[in-house]
Structure 1
Amino acid sequence: MTGAVLCALLLLAMLLALAAGDQPVSPVDVLRALAGAEVSQVSETIVMTLRLPRVALAASVGAALAVAGTATQAVLRNPLAEPGLLGINAGAALAAMIVIVEVASLPESVLPAVSFAGALITALAIQMFAWRAGTSSLRLILVGVGVGALAGAGASFIAAFGPAAEVQRAITWSAGSLQDARWVKLEWLVLWGLPGALALWLAARELDLIALGDRVAGGVGQRVQLVRGLVIVAVALLAGAAVAASGPIAFVGLAAPHVARALTGRNHARLIPVAAVCGAILLVVADLAARRLLAPVQVPVGLATALIGAPFFGYLLWSRRNEL
């Protein structure tokens, strides 16, 4: 029942996002355009060419970040964890900054591949630096924060001395934006992100165990170090693909798992798909707000999610003040 209601809310949010804009389109015309029925050429172009790729990409990126955040919170046993805490987003942003500012000769189509590679390399580096006869949640967090800070410093250094036009474009990308949504980006996200999401869902029982602690998980026969490493690689696949498609978008991977957990409990077989739908709803609504609140100016969706997520982060800190 919960899943059906959430899916209905997602479809409603997507319908509103397709209808609203500088040139409004009635919901009836939106549905007719989606069904391939006769509708004005202007409405068809707006819905099918301009807005549908953006809405589909927003839902997919939100779902990917939510699943990655759910797995990160389980494997690190930290309610405030998300992929950004491991420095994965910062690694992707640094790679993108290098391409945009320093390697102008490369075509823009290479940017998603480079940012994805940056995320994956960062995840592997964190694993390597945190390894000491195995890894622990605390070491992963500490190393992730350090690597993320180092990558952020590198990006800032490049921005400080790079050409102004390229730096401005890089900063816009690093704020998280869906303005350049195209079907090819969605294809890239599905190609690299879907295997990671399926792997995490199929490993739901392993996530349930590792969330109880290394000693408990090891006591029932789980190979804790192997599971933790594979989960982080899957998270890097998901988060890297999402960042490659839209730039770094904060707080979706933090907030969506908590909303889903309140609805379904802690069983990851149910939690992961519900979190994916919650993340999709959150980012579709945030992107709609980013497009319309200061219209005709379009605010980067990463700023909108930060405005939504900062109060939620404060609420989490307050509600768990006796646990942290």
Structure 2
Amino acid sequence: MVNAKQPELVTNKNHKQHSNVLLILGSGIAALLLGIVLALSTGAADIPLATVGQALVSYDPNSTPHQIIHDLRMPRIAAGALVGAAFAVAGAIMQGMTRNPLADPGLLGINAGASFALALCFAFFPALPFDLLILYSFAGAAASAALVYGIGSLAKGGLNPLRLTLAGTAVASLFIALSGGIAIYYRVDQDLAFWYAGGIAGIKWLQVKMIFPWILAGLIGSLILSRFITLLSLGEEVATGLGLQVGVVKFCGILLVLILAGASVSTAGSIGFVGLVIPHIARYLVGADYRWIIPCSAVLGSLLLVLADIGARLINPPNEAPIGAIITLLGAPFFLYLARRQRSEI
């Protein structure tokens, strides 16, 4: 009799878990939509919500508030939502593949590599179009990832989470120093200041259209790969025993991280800690299954960037604070907490 009830109990438990996950995702999407509405009405020029609704339903090109909403605020909000989702999902993939709770594109040097490539472009190819900037950003991210994994693997005993983090920190410091030297020597520091600080002010629809297919492809690929990342997060030996082709999954995962991080850095600069903090929150809310962690991370990452953008406008109006600085203030204490907890577990 007990055995007969076990499948029913498992089914009920899974159904309840799926219901909770859908509730969390629905709440996150609702909060994101509310944040988008607030972002459309908040800024140096406060615009009533009624005017926001009119601009969305019946756009009047002769109306200044409508122009502000359509040409200035909507593209930056769209970019913020895309970049937030991309950074968060990239961090979730890296944490799942490496089994390293401190992994994210910023801490492992990928963001710094992409920024270094942009510094080279500004110094030597100042008239380069935005679509080529994205490709160079991908190349910089790939070079950084190769260095991190190469240096981490050279140590005796092979690659482990601690060595990966140390190698990432070293490579990130190297690329940041090189980028700074290029900026000073070639006098492009003003052009690079936006990417150093991180932000989405001044984003135009052209840039959103450029990064949208890249980030969308990266997010869809991440959802497809999510089941295999769950298996890989159990450990390479366990995943191999279950028939997983670990090398193929790692290659696809790294490729997705490069696409997501490269496109994001080329648009919004090096915004750290999104890929570190959000996956942990998602894992706490929905459990250890990456089929749920990845979509939840995407929604929460978008929400964080949209809310941070609102905060950037309100801290010192009419001037704006860098979004990267705001998120760092939130993410740095969380990083210290994770580092201390991991140290206590070693």
- Same fold, TM-score > 0.5, yes or no: yes
Cα 1:37–1:149 shift into 2, 3 Å: closer
Give the counterpart letter for 1:21 in structure 2: G
Deviations, residues 260-282 of structure 1 (Å, cap 9, x unaligned): 11111111111111110000010
Aligned twin of 2:260: 238
Deviates more, 1:3-12 or 1:139-148: 139-148
Aligned twin of 1:14: 36
Aligned twin of 2:19: none
- Identity across the alignment (%): 39
Give the counterpart letter for 1:301 in structure 2: I
Aligned twin of 2:181: 157
Deviations, residues 244-303 of structure 1 (Å, cap 9, x unaligned): 111110111111111111111111111111110000010111111111101111112111
Query: Equivalences for 1:48-63 in 2 at 5 Å?
Result: 48-63=70-85
Aligned twin of 1:73: 95
Aligned twin of 1:283: 305
C-alpha distance in 2 between matches for 1:21 and 1:153: 34
Following superposition, the deviation at residue 101 of structure 1 comes to 3.1
Indicate whether 1:226 and 2:226 are aligned: no
Q: Secondary structure at the match of 2:134?
A: helix
Deviations, residues 10-40 of structure 1 (Å, cap 9, x unaligned): 0011111110111111112212211226798
Following superposition, the deviation at residue 206 of structure 1 comes to 1.0
Cα 1:292–1:223 shift into 2, 3 Å: same
C-alpha distance in 1 between matches for 2:78 and 2:30: 15
Indicate whether 1:270 and 2:288 are aligned: no
The answer to whether the 8 A contact 1:188-1:245 is kept is no
Aligned twin of 1:199: 221
Following superposition, the deviation at residue 224 of structure 1 comes to 1.7
C-alpha distance in 2 between matches for 1:195 and 1:316: 31
Following superposition, the deviation at residue 121 of structure 1 comes to 3.5
C-alpha distance in 2 between matches for 1:124 and 1:233: 11
Cα 1:108–1:187 shift into 2, 3 Å: closer
Runs (4+) of structure 1 exceeding 6 A deviation are 37-40
Deviates more, 1:273-282 or 1:292-301: 292-301
Q: Secondary structure at the match of 2:202?
A: coil
Cα 1:62–1:206 shift into 2, 3 Å: same
Deviates more, 1:118-127 or 1:20-29: 118-127
Deviations, residues 118-156 of structure 1 (Å, cap 9, x unaligned): 223333454556667x96656644543333232222112
After superposition, the CA RMSD in angstroms is 2.4
Aligned twin of 2:194: 172
Residue number among 123, 127, 132 corresponding to 1:101 in the alignment: 123
The answer to whether the 8 A contact 2:102-2:165 is kept is no
Q: Secondary structure at the match of 1:84?
A: coil
TM-score, normalized by length of structure 1?
0.90
Deviations, residues 183-211 of structure 1 (Å, cap 9, x unaligned): 22222222222222212211112111111
Q: Secondary structure at the match of 1:104?
A: coil
Give the counterpart letter for 1:190 in structure 2: F
Following superposition, the deviation at residue 241 of structure 1 comes to 0.8
Cα 1:310–1:135 shift into 2, 3 Å: closer
The answer to whether the 8 A contact 1:176-1:249 is kept is yes
Following superposition, the deviation at residue 159 of structure 1 comes to 3.0
Aligned twin of 1:215: 237
C-alpha distance in 1 between matches for 2:309 and 2:219: 23
Give the counterpart letter for 2:220 in structure 1: L
| Structure index of larger Rg | 2
C-alpha distance in 2 between matches for 1:89 and 1:183: 23
Indicate whether 1:251 and 2:251 are aligned: no
| Count of equivalent residues | 322
Deviates more, 1:52-61 or 1:299-308: 299-308
Cα 1:316–1:141 shift into 2, 3 Å: closer
The answer to whether the 8 A contact 1:82-1:253 is kept is yes
Aligned twin of 1:308: 330
The answer to whether the 8 A contact 2:195-2:265 is kept is no
